[in-house]
Amino acid sequence: MNDEFSLITRYFKNICTSRPDVRLGIGDDAACLTVPPGKELLVSCDTLVSDVHFLPSWSAEAIASRAVRVNVSDIAAMAGEPNWLLLALTMPTLDEQWLTAFSYGLREALRVFDLALVGGDTTRGPLSITMTIHGLVPTGKAITRRGAREGDIIFVSDCIGAAALAVSFFEKNLPLEERAVLWEKLIHPKPRLDLRYILQTFASAAIDISDGLSADLGHICQSSGVGACLDWEAIPVHPLVHKYQGEQAIPFALSGGDDYELCFTVPAKQVKACFEALAKQQITCYPIGVIEKKLGLRAKTATGDVIPIEMKGYQHF
Ligand code: ADP
Ligand code: MG
């Protein structure tokens, strides 16, 4: 293989899932894509940098898989359906073994989500992966961070904390089975596309938990101009976080990111119907608190005390 174009063809063009809404994919100056009437386009981009978002020791397949999934999660958080992906890949050398594994992981993830890779860019430099994802949502149905109102009930879509535990225990010798569970949570987070109709029908606001529940619920509160009070005991924490963090399990889960579960709010009068719709789809979501007028984040403990919670999570700067 001797040039950039054969590299692109071999590792990226040839792995493409075809979709009828891609009129022109990889190979021209731009892709040409069809947005159907009645739909709006959602666009989001995420960068994964070596040593920041993953370790150089991770397999290329794992890096590709995680990169696609965190991007898909942003579309899930808007109640959309992902369809097109662009990949800007920067790598230090032309390592064919690494590229083969990366391309394999990428192809698998594209298939899982019926995503078409429609373009990108390939450059030399320190390893970094930027993906731009596109998705569709029926016009007017996108759920933003801005719609939470006093009295809305706050939900989280599953147990949290496992991916953060995977990161902090990376070097630790855990029993193999536990290690596998945590690694799976980190590498194959499940973007909650299954909640799309629930969100479109009932949610007033939504966000995916990438930086930690306290930080991400904080974003909903700040964007919506409200505060929140959580029920401390109701926060669903992964069993392994309970096992290894003990008393600190809930604070650990609140501030640890990377789970890519959703946090969303539902107006009180819609909650009953929302639970019925969830049950019909056999999905369990957990009510964890209520939106209040008073700004800031706090939690009510089992003894009835109200404790303040810092809205902090991972920050790059
Ligand atoms: P241009 O010079 O016009 O920007 P490039 O030579 O960078 O185009 O890329 C040629 C084609 O290959 C384009 O369609 C581009 O979108 C696609 N492409 C380049 N790198 C990648 C990649 N890593 N993954 C997917 N498509 C890529
Ligand atoms: Mg061009």
**156: nearest Cα among 107, 79, 214, 241:** 214
Whether pLDDT at 312 is above 90: no
pLDDT score for 310: 86
DSSP 85: E
Atom 1 (ligand 1) nearest CA: 29
Q: Is 118 in the pocket of ligand 1 (CB under 6 A)?
A: no
Q: Is 27 in the pocket of ligand 1 (CB under 6 A)?
A: yes
Q: Is 11 in the pocket of ligand 1 (CB under 6 A)?
A: no
pLDDT score for 314: 64
Provide the residues around ligand 2 (an ion) whose CB is within 5 A.
Answer: 29
Q: Which atom of ligand 1 is nearest to the CA of 31?
A: 14
Q: Which amino acid is at 122?
A: T
Rounded to 5 degrees, what are φ and ψ at 51? 80, -10
Q: Is 262 in the pocket of ligand 1 (CB under 6 A)?
A: no
pLDDT score for 156: 98
Whether pLDDT at 317 is above 90: no
d(CA 276, CA 19): 34
**66: nearest Cα among 146, 152, 138, 167:** 167
Whether pLDDT at 213 is above 70: yes
Query: Could you tell me the pLDDT band of residue 228, with boundaries at 50, 70 and 90?
Result: very high
Least confident range from 100-104, 146-150, 253-257, 292-296: namely 253-257
Query: Could you tell me the pLDDT band of residue 313, with boundaries at 50, 70 and 90?
Result: low
Q: Which of 12, 15, 26 for a ligand 1 pocket mutation test, highest count of atoms within 8 Å of Cβ?
A: 26
Taking residues 98-102, report their average pLDDT. Answer: 96
Whether pLDDT at 298 is above 90: yes
pLDDT score for 17: 77
Q: Which of 5, 17, 122 for a ligand 1 pocket mutation test, highest count of atoms within 8 Å of Cβ?
A: 122
Q: Which atom of ligand 1 is nearest to the CA of 86?
A: 25
Burial of 277 (0-12, 13-18, 19+ CB in 10 A): middle
Taking residues 309-314, report their average pLDDT. Answer: 77
Are the C-beta atoms of residues 130 and 45 closer than 8 Å to each other?
Answer: yes
Q: Position of tokens 């019909």?
A: 280
**pLDDT tens per residue across span 173-210:** 889 999 999 999 999 999 999 999 999 999 999 999 99
Q: How many Å lie between the centroid of ligand 2 and the Cα of residue 158?
A: 44
DSSP 221: H
Atom 19 (ligand 1) nearest CA: 121
Query: Comparing 207 with 3, which gets the higher pLDDT?
Result: 207
Query: Comparing 248 with 18, which gets the higher pLDDT?
Result: 248
**217: nearest Cα among 185, 262, 284, 157:** 262
52: which residues sit within 8 A by CB, 6+ positions away? 316
Query: Could you tell me the pLDDT band of residue 315, with boundaries at 50, 70 and 90?
Result: low
pLDDT score for 101: 97
Strands (E), 80-143: 81-91, 116-124, 128-138
Taking residues 6-27, report their average pLDDT. Answer: 90
Q: Position of tokens 């809305």?
A: 152
Taking residues 217-246, report their average pLDDT. Answer: 97
Q: Which amino acid is at 203?
A: A
Q: Residue 26 CA: which ligand is closest?
A: 1
Q: Would you list the DSSP string of 17-73?
A: PP-TTEEE-BTBSS-EE-PPTTEEEEEEEEEEEBTTTB-TTS-HHHHHHHHHHHHHH
